[in-house]
């Protein structure tokens, strides 16, 4: 949750607000009211606006064969393509090679992004009520139509491609599930299988990786859990006939990484689970396996770190390495990708408009090898991720904004 | 701009899908629902960083199901909670903690409760209202059980099309962020519905844009808003969040497409209901 001062920068006119998000300007134009020469009395210009005019980087993927880094941008609703080897050491905004943006793209509040380097396709998950996975060809730019759009369950966040089974895996936060589709699924198509249930240990799942070499899938969970529990009557009165009535009930579970067989389904137990205080997991977001080092890398949003675990271990295990500290530049990390070919770990920072590349063996408080910037260095970020409620704190004259 | 402080991290017990919150100036507390953990979290008003809540309402006795929004009755010391999929309104004491039963719960077929994402309470008039699937439902504040709403504001004149979102009460007026995005859910949980045939259009591209609407608490039926903020000059596309600052005559609105917050200086919106409003629909 973020809080922002209510007395903020005053915009110089309402037109400034309309230039903040290009795709939104198009929306206004499509309104039936967009061509009025005189405003109605209710068409009241905003006195102030707090918004980020720059792209905010969320998911990230890397393709070393094409020397490409792709990032999802839920703020301006776009996908950005960067030169993988570029290093922005000037503090200026990094000019992307191209950007996919506009109303035809179906790109909305996008989260994870994965690339299929062989087929030159990009997959991104719309996390909010769009409830879709959008597939774009590498060559797409501007207001491009997707190659495919697939309807998926609500709150899709993580994506992974299984080369061995030719499938797409999608995590669904609110349903504590991983949903699998044919890789080429499009439109309205039922999943081929689902991992879901109390034995799975999935609880508000986010990032997911697919380890084809070892036939495994790993899923990072935040721990928010909605289950179906029976009211035993302890502490409150059971409803009449409650023996047969199962009521939903939530609980907070520890954050975790659950590793399943790549062929897992239904209420299947994971092969092993990384969970417990020693793990240092704290809102684990993007996750990837590094086959060259037999490790799993996780962007740890809650404490601004990258955790590296032994891929083969489970339980309350400490990370092998932790990239953390003021020199790292890690700031609310979201996406994470591993480039085994070049020995690099990439993360996207939602806190400050950057994507960072670290050496795969990095440890401790180390500076990144390279930086990409979607805004000039030092540009503040409100950190909004579709703020759908507000409150006013009259004691502090602050606006409270949840994400 | 950057926020002045951020409550975040595992220790906060927040989820990253928070669709409601309220500030309690009497006790200096922030009340937040966590829909993904069926919980209500209460923080210190000055909470910052990875700070745990001072109270948590959660457990089978609470009967919380995907709680999405909250409203505070400061006069009677209650937290009102609207559930998204539970089709219910749970009421707790302001200092409730742990696995406690609600003091009242509105649920059942008579209630007409559906997809709830907004709730507001008017302790002076003993009324509450919810932003329902396509309408505003008004209940008696002390309603309990399977009770019918006393009023329903809905219909083409209201301008509400789909999923009205956050709402607030002030001196007998209902303030609503009417998003008018079109959310079509093709799945029931993770199961594709048999009725699903085609990928819907992007819900945020609905050409009928959203607005901020103001109704009187006594309105009922297909009633147009008594005041509005909408249109291209307003900058609103699909507004969802809404907070009031009557002292400064300001309304704060979050807009999903803009991924930002807009502030409107509309002191006349807060004036007694019998006075003319500058944004009156009836001036068209």
Is A344 contained in some domain? yes
**d(Cα B116, Cα B133) in Å, to the nearest integer?**
6
Write down the pLDDT at residue B184: 87
Mutation choice for A interface testing from B65, B67, B161, B231 by most A CBs within 10 A: B231
CB contact under 8 A, A389 and B247: no
**d(Cα B22, Cα B70) in Å, to the nearest integer?**
6
- pLDDT 10s digit of each residue in chain A, 403 long? 544 443 333 322 222 222 222 222 222 333 334 444 445 789 999 999 999 999 999 999 999 999 999 999 999 999 999 999 998 889 999 999 999 999 999 999 999 999 999 999 999 999 988 999 999 999 999 999 999 999 999 999 999 999 999 999 999 999 999 999 999 999 999 999 999 998 999 999 999 999 999 999 999 999 999 875 544 444 555 444 444 445 678 999 999 999 999 999 999 999 999 999 999 999 999 999 998 899 999 999 999 999 999 999 999 999 999 999 999 999 999 999 999 999 999 999 999 999 999 999 999 999 999 999 999 999 999 999 999 999 999 999 999 999 8
B63 in A contact zone (CB under 8 Å): yes
CATH code, A210: 2.130.10.10
Is B73 contained in some domain? yes
- Specify whether B255 is located in the same domain as B207: yes
Using an 8 Å CB-CB cutoff, list chain B residues near A220. Answer: none
* DSSP of A355-390: EEEEETT--BS---SEEEESS-TT------S-----
B213 in A contact zone (CB under 8 Å): no
**d(Cα B228, Cα A342) in Å, to the nearest integer?**
56
A25, A100, A140, B41, B235 from A103: Cα distances, Å: 10, 10, 14, 37, 17
Positive or negative: CA dihedral A295, A301, A302, A306: positive
Which residue of chain A is at minimal alpha-carbon distance from B15?
A224
Using an 8 Å CB-CB cutoff, list chain B residues near A282. Answer: 9-10, 50
Domain boundary (B109, B124, B153) is at: B153
3-state secondary structure of B144: coil
**d(Cα A10, Cα B176) in Å, to the nearest integer?**
25
Is B105 contained in some domain? yes
Q: How far is CA A32 from the centre of its chain?
A: 34
Q: Where do the H-state alpha helices sit in A217-375? A: none
Using an 8 Å CB-CB cutoff, list chain B residues near A24. Answer: 237, 257-258
Residues 233-252 of chain B with CB under 8 A from chain A are 233-235, 237, 240-245, 247, 250, 252
3-state secondary structure of B13: coil
Is B7 contained in some domain? no
Contact yes or no for B41/B34 (Cβ under 8 A): yes
**d(Cα A281, Cα A196) in Å, to the nearest integer?**
22
Q: Where do the H-state alpha helices sit in B134-264? A: none
Which residue of chain A is at minimal alpha-carbon distance from B227?
A42
- Specify whether B18 is located in the same domain as B149: yes
Using an 8 Å CB-CB cutoff, list chain B residues near A11. Answer: none
The CB-side HSE value for B92 (13 A sphere, CA atoms) comes to 28
pTM: 0.91
Using an 8 Å CB-CB cutoff, list chain A residues near B260. Answer: 20, 49-52, 382, 384, 387
Write down the pLDDT at residue A313: 97
- Specify whether B130 is located in the same domain as B202: no
Q: Which of A14, A187, A190 sits opposite B199 (nearest CB)?
A: A187
- Specify whether B210 is located in the same domain as B279: yes
Number of folded domains that form chain A:
1
Q: Which of B3, B209, B280 sits opposite A31 (nearest CB)?
A: B209
CB contact under 8 A, B205 and A30: yes
Question: Token pair 């998000």 is at which residue?
Answer: A21
Write down the pLDDT at residue A236: 56
What's the domain range around A205? Answer: 55-232+242-381
- Specify whether B100 is located in the same domain as B142: yes
How open is the CA angle A215-A220-A221, to the nearest 5 degrees? 135
CATH code, B20: 2.120.10.30
- Specify whether B89 is located in the same domain as B212: no
How open is the CA angle B108-B110-B116, to the nearest 5 degrees? 65
**d(Cα B202, Cα B208) in Å, to the nearest integer?**
13
Write down the pLDDT at residue A10: 31
Q: What is the dihedral of CA B166, A130, A283, A289, to 10 degrees?
A: 180
Write down the pLDDT at residue A230: 47
Tokens of B170: 């002030």
Which residue of chain B is at minimal alpha-carbon distance from A229?
B60
CB contact under 8 A, A48 and B263: yes
Is A280 contained in some domain? yes
Q: Which of A362, A382, A348 is nearest to A82 (CA)?
A: A348
What's the domain range around B99? Answer: 12-153
Write down the pLDDT at residue B284: 30
CB count in 10 Å sphere of residue B190: 21
Number of folded domains that form chain B:
2
- Specify whether B124 is located in the same domain as B230: no
- Specify whether B97 is located in the same domain as B169: no
CB contact under 8 A, A42 and B227: yes
Residues found in chain A = 403
**d(Cα A210, Cα B36) in Å, to the nearest integer?**
25
Write down the pLDDT at residue A16: 24
- Specify whether B106 is located in the same domain as B190: no
Domain boundary (B116, B131, B153) is at: B153
CB contact under 8 A, B61 and A236: yes
Write down the pLDDT at residue B273: 61
B259 in A contact zone (CB under 8 Å): yes
**d(Cα A39, Cα B228) in Å, to the nearest integer?**
13
Using an 8 Å CB-CB cutoff, list chain A residues near B241. Answer: 387-390, 401
- Specify whether B94 is located in the same domain as B145: yes
Q: Which phi and psi (to 5°) does residue A15 adopt? A: -65, -30
CB contact under 8 A, A175 and B189: yes
> CB contacts < 8 Å between A and B, how many?
371
Domain boundary (B106, B138, B153) is at: B153
- Specify whether B167 is located in the same domain as B84: no
B156 in A contact zone (CB under 8 Å): no
- Specify whether B85 is located in the same domain as B211: no
Is B4 contained in some domain? no
3-state secondary structure of B102: coil
Mean pLDDT by 10 residues, chain B (284 residues): 94 92 98 97 97 96 94 98 93 97 97 94 96 96 98 97 94 96 90 94 86 96 97 94 97 95 97 56 36
Mutation choice for A interface testing from B59, B224, B252, B276 by most A CBs within 10 A: B252
**ipTM computed for the complex:** 0.95
Is A34 contained in some domain? no
**d(Cα B257, Cα B240) in Å, to the nearest integer?**
10
CB contact under 8 A, A128 and B65: no
Say if residue A398 is exposed, middle or buried (CB neighbours under 10 Å; 0-12, 13-18, 19+): buried
Strands (E), A119-275: 121-126, 132-137, 148-151, 156-162, 167-172, 177-182, 193-196, 205-211, 216-221, 224-230, 246-252, 256-261, 272-275
Which residue of chain B is at minimal alpha-carbon distance from A105?
B202
Write down the pLDDT at residue A39: 56
């Amino acid at each position: 949750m973020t809080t922002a001062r209510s007395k903020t920068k005053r915009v110089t006119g309402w037109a400034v607000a309309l230039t903040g998000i290009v795709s939104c300007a198009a929306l206004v134009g499509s309104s039936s009211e967009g061509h009025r020469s005189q405003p109605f009395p209710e068409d009241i210009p905003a006195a102030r606006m707090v918004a980020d005019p720059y792209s905010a980087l969320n998911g990230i993927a890397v393709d070393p064969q094409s020397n490409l880094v792709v990032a999802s941008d839920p703020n301006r609703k776009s996908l950005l393509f960067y030169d993988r080897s570029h290093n922005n050491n000037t503090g200026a905004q990094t000019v992307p090679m191209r950007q996919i943006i506009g109303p035809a793209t179906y790109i909305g509040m996008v989260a994870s992004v994965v690339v299929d380097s062989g087929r030159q396709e990009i997959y991104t998950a719309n996390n909010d009520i769009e409830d879709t996975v959008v597939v774009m060809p590498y060559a797409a730019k501007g207001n491009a139509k997707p190659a495919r759009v697939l309807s998926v369950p609500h709150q899709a966040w993580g994506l992974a491609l299984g080369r061995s089974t030719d499938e797409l895996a999608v995590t669904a936060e609110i349903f504590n599930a991983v949903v699998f589709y044919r890789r080429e699924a499009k439109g309205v198509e039922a999943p081929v299988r689902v991992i879901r249930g109390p034995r799975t240990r999935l609880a508000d799942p986010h990032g997911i990786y697919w380890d084809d070499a070892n036939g495994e899938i790993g899923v990072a969970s935040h721990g928010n859990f909605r289950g179906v529990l029976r009211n035993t009557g302890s502490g409150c009165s059971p409803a009449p006939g409650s023996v047969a009535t199962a009521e939903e009930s939530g609980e907070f579970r520890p954050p975790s990484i659950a590793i399943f067989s790549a062929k897992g389904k239904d209420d299947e137990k994971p092969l092993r689970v990384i969970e417990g205080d020693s793990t240092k997991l704290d809102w684990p977001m993007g996750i990837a396996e590094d086959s060259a080092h037999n490790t799993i890398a996780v962007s740890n949003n809650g404490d601004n770190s990258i955790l590296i675990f032994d891929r083969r271990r489970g339980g309350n295990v400490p990370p092998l390495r932790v990239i953390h500290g003021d020199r790292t530049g890690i700031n609310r990390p979201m996406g994470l990708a591993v480039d085994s070919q070049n020995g690099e770990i990439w993360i996207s920072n939602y806190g400050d408009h950057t994507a960072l590349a670290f050496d795969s063996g990095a440890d401790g408080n180390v500076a990144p090898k390279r930086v990409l910037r979607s805004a000039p260095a030092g540009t503040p970020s409100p950190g909004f991720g579709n703020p759908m409620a507000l409150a006013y704190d009259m004691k502090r004259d602050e606006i409270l904004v949840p994400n | 701009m950057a926020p002045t402080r951020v409550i975040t991290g595992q220790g906060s017990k927040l989820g990253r899908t928070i669709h409601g919150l309220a500030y309690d100036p009497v006790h200096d507390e922030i009340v937040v629902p966590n829909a993904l953990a069926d919980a209500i979290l209460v923080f210190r008003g000055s909470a910052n960083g990875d700070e745990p809540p001072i109270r948590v309402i959660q457990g089978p006795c609470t009967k919380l199901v995907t709680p999405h929004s909250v409203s505070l009755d400061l006069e009677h010391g209650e937290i009102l909670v609207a559930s998204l999929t539970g089709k219910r309104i749970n009421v707790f004491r302001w200092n409730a903690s742990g696995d406690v039963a609600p003091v009242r719960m509105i649920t059942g077929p008579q209630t007409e409760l559906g997809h709830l994402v907004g709730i507001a309470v008017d302790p002076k008039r003993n009324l509450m209202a919810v932003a329902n699937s396509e309408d505003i439902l008004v209940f008696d504040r002390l309603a309990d059980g399977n009770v019918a709403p006393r009023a329903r504001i809905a219909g083409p004149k209201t301008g509400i099309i789909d999923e009205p979102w956050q709402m607030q009460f002030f001196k007998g007026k209902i303030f609503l962020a009417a998003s008018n995005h079109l959310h079509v859910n093709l799945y029931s949980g993770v199961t594709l519905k048999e009725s699903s045939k085609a990928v819907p259009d992007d819900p945020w591209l609905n050409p009928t844009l959203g607005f901020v609407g103001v109704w009187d608490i006594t309105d009922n039926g297909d009633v147009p808003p008594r005041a509005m903020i909408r249109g291209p000059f307003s900058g609103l596309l699909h507004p969802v969040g809404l907070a009031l600052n009557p002292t400064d005559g300001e309304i704060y609105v979050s807009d999903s497409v803009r991924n930002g917050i807009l502030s409107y200086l509309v002191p006349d919106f807060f004036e007694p209901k019998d006075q003319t409003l500058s944004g009156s629909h009836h001036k068209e």
